[in-house]
Amino acid sequence: MAHFAKYGFMRKATLPAGQPTLWRTCRVLANRQRLQMLALLIRHPGQTVSSVARQMRLSLPAASQYLRALEARGLLTCRRVGLRVEYRPVAMTTEGGGGAIAAALRKHVGPRQQPLDALFKLATAFTHPRRIEVYRAVKNGADSFVRVQARTHISTRALARHLAKLEARGFVKNEGDVYAVTNHAHSLGRVLARLAG
């Protein structure tokens, strides 16, 4: 139970099965170098650790650690080719959230280097398990601060921060003190919202 408290869980039963995966995946993506690394592999799949490290000007251990983190979250696959290990993004049809997230990222990471700021900002929306719980409460009809708080049992200050983050990232809107989820304009935002809900 101490493990759950460390990550902000109030009760293990309040979180749907996909939530721990989503917030951990978002934490991996909410790192500019890891996001750049994934974008590089989307543009040029089948690269080795040393190739990625050289292109990103990282040490081999740092590049290896980042690649393992992306692989662990289901965003990359690796395969051995002779003495080399090559990394590539998961297929769009891959089970779970990794395939859907990778597919959404492919739409925004073209053959040329593009700013990743919008993708980074979206990934930060769901980096906390309680924020996913807040999003689900609003999606399931908790349309006021008091109702969201009654469903989530989150302190007033923490809930205000979580709602503000979700609103700033375009996942929740507040009109006249009434909260509602949005149909996100960004394809990655829509994928993250579906996985959170």
SS (H, E, C) 109-165: CCCCCCCCHHHHHHHHHHCCHHHHHHHHHHHCCCCCHHHHHHHHCCCHHHHHHHHHH
CB-based contacts of 112-120 (< 8 A; 24+ apart in sequence):
114/39, 116/32, 116/35, 116/36, 116/39, 118/186, 119/29, 119/35, 119/188, 120/29, 120/30, 120/32, 120/35
Overall average pLDDT of the 104-120 stretch: 80
> 48 pLDDT exceeds 80?
yes
> 2 pLDDT exceeds 50?
no
CA distance 74 to 154: 30
Average pLDDT, the chain: 86
Q: Are residues 16 and 116 in contact, defined by beta-carbon separation less than 8 angstroms? A: no
Percent residues over pLDDT 70 in the chain: 85
Instruction: Provide the Cα torsion 34, 38, 39, 41; round to 10°.
Output: 140
pLDDT value of residue 95:
63
pLDDT digits (tens, 9 = 90+) for 129-178: 999 999 999 999 999 999 999 999 999 999 999 999 999 999 999 998 89
Q: How many domains does the chain have?
A: 1
Place of tokens 């909260």: 179
Can you give the CATH number for the domain in which 40 is found?
A: 1.10.10.10
- Domain containing 36: what range? 2-196
CA distances, 31 to each of 4, 8, 27, 63, 120 (Å) = 23, 20, 7, 13, 7
Overall average pLDDT of the 4-17 stretch: 38
pTM across the whole model: 0.83
pLDDT value of residue 127:
95
> 3 pLDDT exceeds 70?
no
> 17 pLDDT exceeds 60?
no
